[in-house]
A and B are shown apart, each in its own frame.
Chain A
Amino acid sequence: MKIVLGMILFVAHLFAVDATIEISKKKDKIYKVMVEDSTTKEIGASLSKKFFKLLLGDLKVSSNFEVIEDHFKKSFDATYITEDVLAKNAELILRYKLEFSDNKALTAKVRLYSVRSNSIMVEKSYNMSNTKMYPFLSHKIISDLNKEMGSGSIDWMNRYVIFSKYTSSGNSSIYLSDYTLTYQKRVVSKGLNLFPKWGDEEQRTIYYTKIQNDTPTLYRYNLYSGKKQLITQSEGMLVCSDVSEDGSKLVLTMSPNGLPDIYVYDLNTKQKQRITKFSGIDVGGQFVEGTSKVVYVSDKLGYPNIYLANTQSGDSQRLVYHGKNNSSCTANGDYIVYSSREFKKDSDGSSIFNLYLISTSSDFIRQLTSYGKNMFPKFAKGSDAVLFIKSYKNQSSLGLIRLNANISFDFPLKVGKIQSIDW
């Protein structure tokens, strides 16, 4: 109960001010930080360089620090106040040392030093048995430092991302990843494995669709035990679009009669409730305001647009009144982010898809991006962070928007074509 209450307070705090109109988060102070690397040679130059870049990236994404980009090498116990520190006007020094322990675990010693008070503010050490998961070590260090500095939680950094990517025609695999997609572990392969969706808050289970003998089949898969359970099947298409907070209900897009419609599936009673009955395309349902409403995409006016349906009455209303192709959306509480194709073209003549933020409790719209194709927006559970895929001039990247800080980041993608992503 305390956890639930805590989550409610946390979300309430994040969205205490209407995020659709409050552009910038007011900060007490943004500290200028210098990062000093004391990593031993046994770690290797490659890992050492990658880790440094990750730390810098995480510091920037936290949006609480101004980061000095130079890669300074220092002994872990060396003097802190140096000419470099003074020349760069650094206010904080983040010094870290990576090394292997006796049992080959990756360890990190971290100190945060205040130049002004000439003292160590934070000192921590970390241990990670699986070296391949080093990106999570970086994310953990920065999210902890953020907490120590009294800033809002960025614990979403520590969450896993699950995504499906195409490997060849007729084949797609599902991967577990960190939010930068640096760490990747394949968890499902062979055939078309699609639309992975987290099944619980603890990120132990996923739902995904496998096209099996030309029949889409929805499975629940426990990543830790390897137990796989068939949930339901449908001719045509079957997608788990969302999972309720308590994990008891799913929003499904399925076509048992040939036409793609939105259903709410109760895992306890195994009953399906049909929400939409339009003869065209209804897809991408996301729970809004608990499980009382579902926001979804429909082409009922001849082009994809965003609608809101009441799960009890089935009544539906149009939510978006601009754009002629609004074909994906994500919801968090009563906030909705959707992708919309603009009438104007990019400098290379290609279409622009921008992301917009709206709320079911206000009429304001906030534009979140301004160029490129920004698609597949996904809220991180209970946070102000939205992940999306950006394509611009033949380059794809993973985009991240911190709504409250009004900052966005791009991480170039080198993973092939992503089919679907959730975090």
Chain B
Amino acid sequence: MKKITIISFVALAMLLTTGCSKKQEVKPVEPVLEKQIEVPVEIVDNSAANDIADDADSSVLSFEQLQELVKTVYFDSDKYIIKENMETVISSNADALNKKEAKTVSVVVSGHCDEWGTDEYNFALGQKRAIAVKNALESRGIAGENIKTVSKGEGAPVCGESTPECWSQNRRAEIQLNQ
């Protein structure tokens, strides 16, 4: 009985919107019609239509989109304290990692340095930067056991020139997601 009611409403709506001169191709965006005719919630029991409606409304993030949401955190020279202007980056990173799509990914925070400093000390500095970001994410509700840290010292620069601009780009902690 419910199905008959729905079909009647749908047919009426199609007549009103398209007229009778042409045969209308059935489009897959059926839920739009449902909304237009304000079908009472209690009679919507078509599970297939439900699935389509859920996907369209909640805009599920792909893994790549999720990775794009997490941003690099930058540090001052020889420091591993998170700067004030990086707090918003940390917060938005935490928001991204709190999304349901992030529940199944593992997180690696890698710490990096500029070319200054000595070999071992630079690697330790990178590690402290990675840990600082991990701790900040934990304080915003991200489970620490899902976050791995690694220091790459000055070994993986994003900028290879010997300029202050380059050095500031290389003093960073990157968040890499793994499926």
Contacts and interface: CB of A to CB of B under 8 A. Distances in A.
A281 B128 contact: yes
B95 interface: no
B150 A235 contact: yes
Contacts of B152: 170, 192, 211
B119 interface: yes
Interface stretch (A11-19, A255-263, A266-274): A255-263
A419 B120 CA distance: 9
Contact of B155 (A194, A235, A375): A194
A211 B120 contact: no
B142 interface: no
A214 B115 CA distance: 21
Contacts of A215: 148, 150
Contact of B150 (A166, A216, A241): A216
Main secondary structure on A side of the interface with B: strand
A197 to B, nearest CB: 11
Given A172-B155, A258-B131, A237 B121 contact: no
Interface stretch (B4-12, B55-63, B156-164): B156-164
Contacts of A282: 124
Nearest to A259: B131
Given A169-B160, A258-B127, A376 B148 contact: no
Given A192-B156, A258-B131, A237 B124 contact: yes
Interface string A244-265: 0000000001010011100000
Contact of B149 (A194, A258, A417): A258
A327 B115 CA distance: 14
Interface in B135-165: 148-158, 160
A383 interface: no
Nearest to B115: A417
Contacts of A166: 154-155
A241 B128 CA distance: 19
B131 A283 contact: no
B37 to A, nearest CB: 54
A136 interface: no
Task: Classify chain B's interface size.
Answer: 20 to 34
Contacts of A420: 119-120
Contacts of B157: 169
A283 B150 contact: no
Interface in A385-401: none
B151 to A, nearest CB: 4
A328 B160 contact: no
Contacts of A258: 127, 131, 134, 149
A260 B127 contact: yes
Given A170-B156, A172-B155, A241 B127 contact: no
B31 interface: no
Given A255-B127, A259-B131, A281-B125, A239 B120 contact: yes
Interface of A: 166, 169-170, 172, 192, 194-195, 211, 214-216, 235-237, 239, 241, 253, 255, 258-260, 280-284, 297, 304, 327-328, 339, 375-376, 417, 419-420
9 contacts: A166-B155, A169-B155, A236-B151, A241-B120, A255-B127, A259-B131, A281-B124, A339-B118, A417-B115
